[in-house]
C-alpha cells in the first residue's frame, strides 16, 4: 500500500504502510482519523497493516517510536483491541497497560493512548450485530457488562497471546503472503470473543484519575485550551491544583516527561497542523500565533522533531493540495 491517503481495503484484502510521517498515524486504526503526535524528536519509525474481511476490519501497528494517539476509533462500530507486545511505560487514559491488555471501545467514545517504542497492537472494528453473530457461532455468551469502554479486568492468557503475537508480527514483515492475513484476523476475533466470554466480570471502565494522574489530566486540559498562548509553569501548576514540585513529579512519573517539554511539543504539533492546512499565512506569522517569539530556536526544534524544516512542510502541503 503506497501513498498518504488510506482507504479501507476491499473484502479479504491486505495492505501495509511503512510510516515515516506523523500524519499517516491518523489511520492507526483504519478509518478513525486519530490525532497522532510523536513524543520524541527524530525520524518516525512505524508500520501499519490492514486486513479486511466480510465481517470486520483488522488493524495492527508496530510502533518503534514514542507515539501519542487520541480521538474516536469509530462513530458507528465497536472496536476490540489487544496489546500484543507493550513496552513498559505505555498508557491508555493515563493508566498503565501491558502485554495482554484487552480493551473495548464503543462507538463515538474517546480513546487516548501513549505507546512506547517497540509496542505492537491489534484492533478489530465491526458492528454490534456482527459481533453478536460471531459470538453466537462460537457458542459464547458475552456478558453485556464486558461491552463497555475500558479494559477487561483479566489479561489475555499467555498461550493465546503468544500465538496471536507471532501471527500478527508476520503481517509487518516482507513476504507475508504465505501467512494468509485473513486467518490472522479471524484468529484474533475468535480469541477476543472467547476472552470476553470467559468468567464475565464487571468491567472497570475508564480508570478513575487519582493523585498524580489527576494532576496531569488537569494540566493537559489547560495546555490544550491555551496552547496558542504563552503558558508559564506557575499558571499551569495553579490550573492543575498542584505545587510546581508536584506538577513536575506528576509529569515525570506518569509521562516520563517535563511540563515545559510537553508544552513545547504541543505547540510544534499545532504549528505543523497549521502549516499542513494550506493556509496562506507566513511561517513567521503562524509561529507567532501560538505564542512563540524565538524563531531561530523554533526552527531548530521543529527540524529536530519532524526531520524537516517548516518550509519543507509547507512545500509538501502545497503538493498535496495541488494533487487534490
Residue 78 has pLDDT above 90, yes or no: yes
Please write the tens of the pLDDT for every residue from 247-272: 998 998 899 899 999 999 999 999 99
- Summary mean pLDDT of the chain: 86
Burial of 309 (0-12, 13-18, 19+ CB in 10 A): middle
Say what the pLDDT of residue 115 is: 98
Residue 191 has pLDDT above 70, yes or no: yes
Q: Which helix (H) or strand (E) holds 225?
A: helix 211-225
Say what the pLDDT of residue 2 is: 37
Task: Name the strands in the sheet holding 13-19, side by side, starting at the edge strand that comes first in the sequence.
Answer: 13-19, 46-52, 57-63, 119-126, 78-85, 102-105, 150-151
123 phi, psi to nearest 5 deg: -130, 140
Say what the pLDDT of residue 126 is: 96
Which residue has better confidence, 242 or 138? 242
Say what the pLDDT of residue 175 is: 61
Q: Where in the chain is the domain with CATH 2.60.120.10?
A: 13-197
For 188-217, b where at least 16 C-beta lie within 10 A, e where not — what string? bbbbbbbbbbeeeeebeebeebeebbbbbb
Q: What is the mean pLDDT of residues 23-28?
A: 94
pLDDT bin (cut points 50, 70, 90) of residue 207 is very low
Say what the pLDDT of residue 198 is: 52
Count of positions (residues) in the chain: 324
3-state secondary structure of 95: strand
Say what the pLDDT of residue 321 is: 64
Q: What CATH number belongs to 211-323?
A: 1.10.10.60
Question: What end-to-end distance do the CA atoms of the chain give, in Å?
Answer: 19
Please write the tens of the pLDDT for every residue from 232-252: 999 999 999 898 888 998 998
Say what the pLDDT of residue 12 is: 63
Say what the pLDDT of residue 210 is: 62
Q: How far apart are CA 45 and CA 265, in angstroms?
A: 18
Q: Where in the chain is the domain with CATH 1.10.10.60?
A: 211-323
Say what the pLDDT of residue 178 is: 43
Task: At 28, list the grid cell.
Answer: 492507526
Q: What is the mean pLDDT of residues 129-155?
A: 86
Q: How far apart are CA 202 and CA 267, in angstroms?
A: 40
CATH superfamily, domain at 13-197: Jelly Rolls (2.60.120.10)
Say what the pLDDT of residue 158 is: 93
Question: Taking the complete model, does pTM exceed 0.85, yes or no?
Answer: no
111 phi, psi to nearest 5 deg: -115, 140
Amino acid at each position: 500500500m503506497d501513498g498518504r491517503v488510506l482507504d479501507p481495503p476491499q473484502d479479504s484484502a491486505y495492505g501495509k504502510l511503512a510510516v515515516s510521517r506523523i500524519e499517516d498515524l491518523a489511520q492507526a486504526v483504519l478509518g478513525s482519523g486519530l490525532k497522532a503526535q510523536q513524543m520524541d524528536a527524530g525520524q518516525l519509525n512505524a508500520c501499519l497493516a490492514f486486513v479486511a474481511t466480510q465481517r470486520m476490519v483488522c488493524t495492527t501497528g508496530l510502533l518503534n517510536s514514542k507515539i501519542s494517539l487520541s480521538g474516536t476509533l469509530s462513530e458507528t462500530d465497536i472496536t476490540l483491541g489487544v496489546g500484543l507486545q507493550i513496552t513498559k511505560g505505555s498508557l491508555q487514559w493515563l493508566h498503565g497497560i501491558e502485554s495482554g491488555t484487552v480493551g473495548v471501545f464503543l462507538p463515538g467514545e474517546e480513546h487516548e493512548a501513549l505507546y512506547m517504542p517497540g509496542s505492537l497492537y491489534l484492533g478489530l472494528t465491526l458492528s454490534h450485530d456482527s459481533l453478536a453473530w460471531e459470538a453466537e457461532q462460537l457458542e459464547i455468551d458475552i456478558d453485556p457488562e464486558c461491552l463497555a469502554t475500558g479494559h477487561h479486568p483479566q489479561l489475555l492468557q499467555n498461550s493465546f497471546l503468544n500465538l496471536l503475537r507471532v501471527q500478527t508480527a508476520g503481517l509487518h514483515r516482507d513476504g507475508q503472503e504465505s501467512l494468509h492475513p485473513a486467518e490472522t484476523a479471524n484468529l484474533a476475533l475468535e480469541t477476543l470473543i472467547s476472552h470476553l466470554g470467559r468468567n464475565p466480570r464487571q468491567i472497570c471502565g475508564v480508570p478513575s484519575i487519582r493523585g498524580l494522574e489527576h494532576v496531569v489530566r488537569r494540566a493537559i486540559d489547560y495546555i490544550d485550551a491555551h496552547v496558542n498562548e504563552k503558558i508559564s509553569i506557575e499558571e499551569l501548576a495553579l490550573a492543575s491544583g498542584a505545587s510546581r514540585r508536584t506538577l513536575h513529579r506528576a509529569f515525570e512519573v506518569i509521562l516520563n516527561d517535563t511540563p515545559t517539554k510537553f508544552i513545547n511539543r504541543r505547540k510544534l504539533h499545532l504549528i505543523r497542523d497549521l502549516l499542513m492546512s494550506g493556509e496562506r499565512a507566513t511561517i513567521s506569522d503562524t509561529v507567532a500565533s501560538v505564542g512563540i517569539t524565538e524563531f531561530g530556536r523554533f526552527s531548530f526544534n521543529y527540524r529536530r522533531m519532524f526531520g524537516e524544516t517548516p518550509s519543507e512542510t509547507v512545500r509538501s502541503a502545497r503538493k498535496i493540495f495541488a494533487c487534490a
